[in-house]
Amino acid sequence: MRILVFSDIHANLTALEAVLENAGCVDAAWCLGDLVGYGPDPNECIERLQDLPNLECILGNHDAATLKQIDSAMFNPEARNAIHWTQNTLNAENLKFLSILPQKMIYNDITLVHGSPRQPVWEYLLDVYNATKSFEYLETPYCFVGHTHIPILYHLADDRNSAKLYIPKPGKGLSLQPRMILNPGSVGQPRDRDPRAAYAILDDQARSWEFYRVEYDIQSVQRRMEAARLSPRHIQRLSAGW
Ligand code: ZN
């Protein structure tokens, strides 16, 4: 199967549409959480996702906060405002869609979580120390995560001493090897100083993974954010990709 693996859409419909068009025909779509928060299109993104074939979707921390499963006081003031705006904007049906998302899914030998195998919703895997620790909690050879908004790959070698970190180049394919944690990056709010939307394509038979980036009309999203009176800092950061 050709599977779209993507994360952190953050209510950015324009970026999501660009990813779907660029990815082309897929057999399944695995979304690793944070469908909402920050962006202006939470209802539209949740509805668009449901058109995708064999969709699997994991709960992210912003989704959990929107559902009041996580106290919004745990977020910085601007992210908290975006969560409150999202709570007031989402319709009942789309809130219900978020409310049934699992924190973790295992598909054959692949674990899907938003944060990490140790803390599925909340932990950021930003360094090799935490990534190495994470492998102790992983029940499958492979794990796909989101949450940091940075495309990355961690691999724990046979000696299990310390994970190695790789920053991928877009368009470059790689073969999956056991004890890998992969992050496809963020669709709607990249944070690696590359403002293009990020995603990955998995071929689960060939065991191959490819990272991709795609340009989208950032200004149109910024205009909708301004109209919704969302945080100026969040509007600005989309252009710079941080
Ligand atoms: Zn996120």
Superfamily per CATH, domain 2-240: Metallo-dependent phosphatases (3.60.21.10)
Q: How far is the CA of 61 from the centre of ligand 1 (A)?
A: 7
Q: How far is the CA of 108 from the centre of ligand 1 (A)?
A: 25
**How much is the pLDDT for 169?**
87
Q: How far is the CA of 134 from the centre of ligand 1 (A)?
A: 19
Q: Say if strands 173-175 and 180-183 run parallel, antiparallel, or are unpaired.
A: unpaired
Mean pLDDT of 158-177: 89
Residue 155, φ and ψ in degrees, nearest 5: -130, 130
Q: How far is the CA of 159 from the centre of ligand 1 (A)?
A: 32
Split at pLDDT 50, 70, 90, the class of 168 is confident
Neighbours of ion ligand 1 (CB under 5 A): 8, 34
Task: Return the domain boundaries, the chain.
Answer: 2-240
Q: Positive or negative CA dihedral for 203, 204, 206, 208? A: positive
Q: How far is the CA of 186 from the centre of ligand 1 (A)?
A: 7
**How much is the pLDDT for 137?**
96
Which residue has tokens 């877009």?
170
Q: How far is the CA of 28 from the centre of ligand 1 (A)?
A: 21
212: Cα within 13 Å, side-chain hemisphere: 21
Mean pLDDT of 100-128: 96
Predicted model pTM: 0.96
